[in-house]
Amino acid sequence: MVDTNESTPEKELLALIQSGNPVKEIEIAALFEKLKPLDAESLTGSWRPGPYVETGHPGVQQLKEAKFDGKDFYSEDNVQPVMCLNDKGERVFNEQYGYASLRKVEYRGVLSTAMIYDTHPIIDHFRYLTDDYVFGAMDTKMFPKEAGMLYFCLKKAKL
């Protein structure tokens, strides 16, 4: 018999970020590395921000200030990576960040889907969390190295 209460990296990570409490990047990184890879097809659709991962990374505050509202995946070569809410509360594409593409990329020893921005030095590495959540690590030189990795969670939008 399978114990459904058994702890898994997915359950641990989701509980950690849903708590809303500050968390050390090293804890998130250790769990991220245990997550399963993700295929591009499973990202198709609209995704909203999940709970913010409060590691102290300055990107979290920037996302909040920009009214970040997720990412839209249409195909491997057509991704709107930064959706925001405008002053009317409408969900709009942030053209400043341009488009992106999905590719299989090995990151920390795991081959999984990554989103590569067309015009910015950003690669978002994705891993499976649940059927409704994915977890990402933003690999970029746009923040100082000492800021660490920006980890984020996305929740599948229900239509």
pLDDT tier at 1 (50, 70, 90 boundaries)? very low
Distance of CA 57 to the CA centre of its chain: 14
Q: Which helix (H) or strand (E) holds 61?
A: helix 58-65
d(CA 28, CA 12): 10
Report which of 139, 123, 132, 138 is spatially closest to residue 154, judged by C-alpha positions. 132
CATH number for the domain that contains residue 92: 2.40.128.580
Band the pLDDT of 2: cuts 50, 70, 90: very low
What residue numbers bound the domain in which 24 lies?
A: 9-156
Confidence of residue 4 (pLDDT cuts 50, 70, 90): low
Do the Cβ atoms of 34 and 61 come closer than 8 Å? no
Residue 144 in any domain: the answer is yes
Does some domain include residue 4? no
The tally of domains found in the chain comes to: 1
pLDDT surpassing 60 at residue 3: no
Quick: pLDDT tens for 134-151.
999 999 988 988 888 999
> Would you say 135 and 111 are in contact if contact means Cβ atoms under 8 Å apart?
no
41-91 per-position pLDDT tens digit: 999 999 999 989 999 999 999 999 999 999 999 999 999 999 999 999 999
Is residue 1 assigned to a domain?
A: no
